[in-house]
């Protein structure tokens, strides 16, 4: 059938939105849509050959082997007991500050992000550990719930992030450089969160009251330092083992992920949380999540193959390149599209569908691919907090104990300041690109 690239572009994007809005499984929706349109445009034999080559390339991609390994590492760490010890220590050290428990939650989320890299695990762990103590001690419910959601979403940016592992092959850039490009932006957001909580609680003294002195009385300084070293040292060693081996060129991300998975298992054994039941549970969860990721990877790659072969990439590029304002106008248009789609489509779908299309455009405009990748990733972090499809809000609402009285309205009001802070972080990275580019330039 003689279909112009413009018509094919409209048909394919319309099909994606239709599958999302009707609740059809995303992977099957884009896979079916791509196959149907490919058959109309190229014929059945060519489409089948294209699907075979694209899917085979994805499922045999060595770099993507890091996905199940990092997922295994995160799941095992979640069950190792390390999170409970760490929060107890931070609770004692920071509880006497106004907003101290919320700041402890952000720090906890930052460390979890560098160990786990899976949003669902981070938000769930923080909700179970930190939300109850904050609400029971009189914290504003919006502040408490917003802090948990925002801190939990740091795992999508701070390495080793699953999103960065998937992004690298999709954009044709080094996963190792993405890891270290995300390092300072992730910690910048963490610092902005802590500063906001501290200032807000100093102004509004009832929002985050300090823990009563009697709750943590009688604990000496030496005991606090011992607790800190016991709870903080193991995850720091794990982080250094994984990221250090990549930074110094000792191992690629896939090998480093294997080291992390092994080290997480050792930690579970040391903390006496390891059992065959735990191993079975971790393995099943890993297979489920990895299977979903690889199914979407395969179908999205095939969909994009049809999209690009039909000439739709040039159609999108021409529209974006003609944006008023030159290269920065085009950049704003791309960021706006990503932000809008993030409210409706999961990050995985956006990365796999749009990144192969917009990355060549950004490179043609003169943007560094690592810098542009971080702009996309920081933007997509907001997608976990922006309704209607805000996964962090859903995770928290589903995990929060009913007796705490956390309503969806509390959570939405709570995340709004953190969405603004992410935008501030994005603006700082635009104004000072070396926040992103300095560390990757020092890699061995």
Buried b (16+ CB within 10 A) or exposed e, 302-332: bbbbbbebbebbebbbeebeeeeeeeeebbe
Mean pLDDT of each 10-residue bin along the chain, 444 residues long: 81 84 82 90 90 88 86 84 79 83 90 78 82 86 92 88 89 91 94 95 87 72 78 82 84 88 88 88 89 87 89 87 88 92 84 90 93 94 85 83 85 93 96 94 80
Residue 7 φ/ψ, nearest 5 degrees: -65, -40
Q: How far apart are CA 23 and CA 26, in angstroms?
A: 8
Q: Reply yes or no: is the peptide bond before residue 388 cis, omega within 30 of 0.
A: yes
- The helix (run of H) or strand (run of E) holding residue 141 is helix 141-152
The reported pTM is 0.88
pLDDT number for residue 1: 59
DSSP string, 317-351: HHHHHT-TTHHHHHHHHHHHHHHHHHTTS-HHHHH
Contact 337, 13 (CB under 8 A): no
pLDDT number for residue 216: 67
Contact 92, 227 (CB under 8 A): yes
- Tell me, what DSSP letter sits at residue 127? I
pLDDT number for residue 49: 92
Contact 274, 268 (CB under 8 A): yes
pLDDT number for residue 421: 96
Residue 217 φ/ψ, nearest 5 degrees: -70, 155
pLDDT number for residue 182: 93
pLDDT number for residue 15: 84
Q: Reply yes or no: is the peptide bond before residue 160 cis, omega within 30 of 0.
A: yes
């Amino acid at each position: 059938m003689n279909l112009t690239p413009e018509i094919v572009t409209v048909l394919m994007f319309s099909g994606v939105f239709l599958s999302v809005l009707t609740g059809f499984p995303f992977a099957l929706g884009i896979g079916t849509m791509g196959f149907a349109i490919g058959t109309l445009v190229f014929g059945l034999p060519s489409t089948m050959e294209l699907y075979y080559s694209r899917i085979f390339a994805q499922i045999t991609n060595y770099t993507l082997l890091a996905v199940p390994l990092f997922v295994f590492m995160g799941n095992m760490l979640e069950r190792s007991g390390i999170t409970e010890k760490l929060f107890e220590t931070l609770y004692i050290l920071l509880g006497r500050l106004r907003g101290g428990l919320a700041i402890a939650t952000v720090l906890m989320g930052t460390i979890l992000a560098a160990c786990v890299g899976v949003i669902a695990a981070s938000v769930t762990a923080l909700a179970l550990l930190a939300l109850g103590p904050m609400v029971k001690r009189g914290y504003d419910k919006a502040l408490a719930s917003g802090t948990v959601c925002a801190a939990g979403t740091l795992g999508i940016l701070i390495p080793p992030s699953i999103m960065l592992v998937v992004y690298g092959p999709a954009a044709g850039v080094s996963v190792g450089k993405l890891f270290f490009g995300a390092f300072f932006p992730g910690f910048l957001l963490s610092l902005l969160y802590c500063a906001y909580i501290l200032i807000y609680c100093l102004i509004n003294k009832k929002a985050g009251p300090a823990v009563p002195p009697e709750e943590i009385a009688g604990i000496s300084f030496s005991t606090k330092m011992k607790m800190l070293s016991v709870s903080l040292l193991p995850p720091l060693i794990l982080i250094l083992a994984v990221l250090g081996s990549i930074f110094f060129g000792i191992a690629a991300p896939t090998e480093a992920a294997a080291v992390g998975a092994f080290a997480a298992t050792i930690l579970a054994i040391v903390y006496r949380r390891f059992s065959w039941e735990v191993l079975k549970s971790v393995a099943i969860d890993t297979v489920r999540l990895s299977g979903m990721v690889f199914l979407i990877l395969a179908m999205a790659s095939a969909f994009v193959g049809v999209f690009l072969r039909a000439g739709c990439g040039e159609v999108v590029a021409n529209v974006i390149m003609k944006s008023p304002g030159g290269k920065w106008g085009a950049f704003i248009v791309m960021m706006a599209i990503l932000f809008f789609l993030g409210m409706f489509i999961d990050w995985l779908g956006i990365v796999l569908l749009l990144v192969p299309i917009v990355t060549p455009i950004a490179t043609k405009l003169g943007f560094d691919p690592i810098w542009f990748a971080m702009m996309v990733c920081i933007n997509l972090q907001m997608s976990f907090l922006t309704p209607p499809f805000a996964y962090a809000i859903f995770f928290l609402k589903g995990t929060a104990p009913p007796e705490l009285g956390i309503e969806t309205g509390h959570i939405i009001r709570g995340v709004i300041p953190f969405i603004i802070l992410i935008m501030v972080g994005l603006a700082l990275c635009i104004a000072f690109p070396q926040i992103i580019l300095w560390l990757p330039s020092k890699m061995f």
